[in-house]
Amino acid sequence: MLLSEGLERTLEPGGAVPGRRNALPSDPGAAAESLLKTAEACFERYGVSRVTMDEIAVTAGVSRPTLYRYLGDREKLLRDIVERRAANLVTKVHRVIAKHTTLTEKLVTGTLFLVDIGRSDEFIRELLRSDRASFSSELMTEHGQSTDFAAAVWSPTLKSALDQGLLPAGFDEQMAYRWLTSINYMMLLWADYDDLSTTYKKKMLRGFLAPAFQK
């Protein structure tokens, strides 16, 4: 069976009939959201590298030009899905961080939570693989989505620490967000990560991550 045939038969996001022309919502934002959900479902089920824009269009029941008009090219689509997933995660991370009182434990627990979520998300793991290295590197830049996500996650914690005088003089928040992003990226790609105990991971972060945020 061709991949496109499998997509047509098995994916029906938003009640659409796969493989047939479907009427999109009249509101442009709602139409784009519907198509984005379809694309995300395709990637989740079959993998980022296997699904083409043509197959997403077939599954959504729209023409290829319509898909591009609402979602842009493939790279923009992937970035939008990353942003969507990140936005849904921020509140969850804040809840985890809020359970702890010290800056060290907030950093350690929040970092481990993010890494564990990322390693369990096949979509994210595939984006970080070597054949997509240029794309993941773009996300990691100073003004990339990963750094913006780190700012959304850690800004309340670090601003509170600054107000309490817990951080070093001249503390650079933007540099801190890039550093935290780099730590997450490294641990996401760490082949032996799942073989290490949680106790060991926490000890490692307390010893080598937390000191960077201490006077």
pLDDT in tens, 69-106: 999 999 899 888 888 888 889 999 999 999 999 999 99
| Domain total of the chain | 2
Residues 144 and 164 in one domain: yes
137 versus 187: which is more confidently predicted?
A: 187
Give the alpha-carbon dihedral of 146, 121, 83, 54, to 10 degrees: 120
Q: Tokens standing for 63?
A: 């023409």
Question: What would the pLDDT profile of 93-140 be if each residue is shown by its tens digit?
Answer: 999 999 999 999 999 999 999 999 988 888 887 777 645 556 555 555
- CA–CA–CA angle 127, 136, 36 (5° rounding): 55
What pLDDT score was predicted for residue 32? 94
- Are both 109 and 157 inside the same structural domain? yes
- For the segment 192-205, the average pLDDT, to the nearest whole number, is 94
Q: What angle do CA 146, 104, 199 make, to 5 degrees?
A: 90
Same domain, 92 and 190: yes
Task: Read off the pLDDT of residues 32-41 as tens digits, 9 standing for 90 and up.
Answer: 999 999 999 9
- Do 166 and 193 lie in one domain? The reply is yes
Which residue among 33, 55, 72 closes a domain?
Answer: 72
Q: Which two tokens stand for residue 37?
A: 């959900």
Using the 3D structure, point to which of 72, 93, 124 is the last residue of a domain.
Answer: 72
Top mean pLDDT of 11-25, 60-74, 125-139 is at 60-74
Domain, as residue range, for 19: 3-72
Return d(Cα 133, Cα 46) in angstroms, integer: 20
142 and 96 within one domain:
yes
pTM for the whole thing?
Answer: 0.78
Residue 142 has pLDDT above 70, yes or no: no
Of the three residues 37, 72, 107, the one that is the final residue of a domain is 72
Least confident piece of the model among 6-15, 25-34, 197-206: 6-15
Q: Are 135 and 179 contained in the same domain?
A: yes
Please tell me the predicted confidence (pLDDT) of residue 98.
97
Based on the fold, state whether residues 117 and 47 are members of the same structural domain.
no
**Diameter over CA atoms, the chain:** 62
- 44 and 99, same domain (yes or no): no
**Residues 23, 80 share a domain:** no
Looking at residue 172, its pLDDT comes to 94
Which CATH number does the domain housing residue 156 bear? 1.10.357
Directed axis angle between helix 74-98 and helix 145-163, to 10°?
20
User: Which of 117, 178, 171 is CA-nearest to residue 143?
Assistant: 178
Instruction: For residues 144 and 80, state if they share a domain.
Output: yes
**pLDDT for 94:** 97
For the ranges 19-23, 127-131, 193-197, the lowest mean pLDDT is seen at 19-23
Q: Are residues 111 and 154 in the same domain?
A: yes
- The backbone torsions φ and ψ at residue 126, rounded to the nearest 5 degrees and listed phi first, read -70, -35
Together in a domain, 93 and 67: no
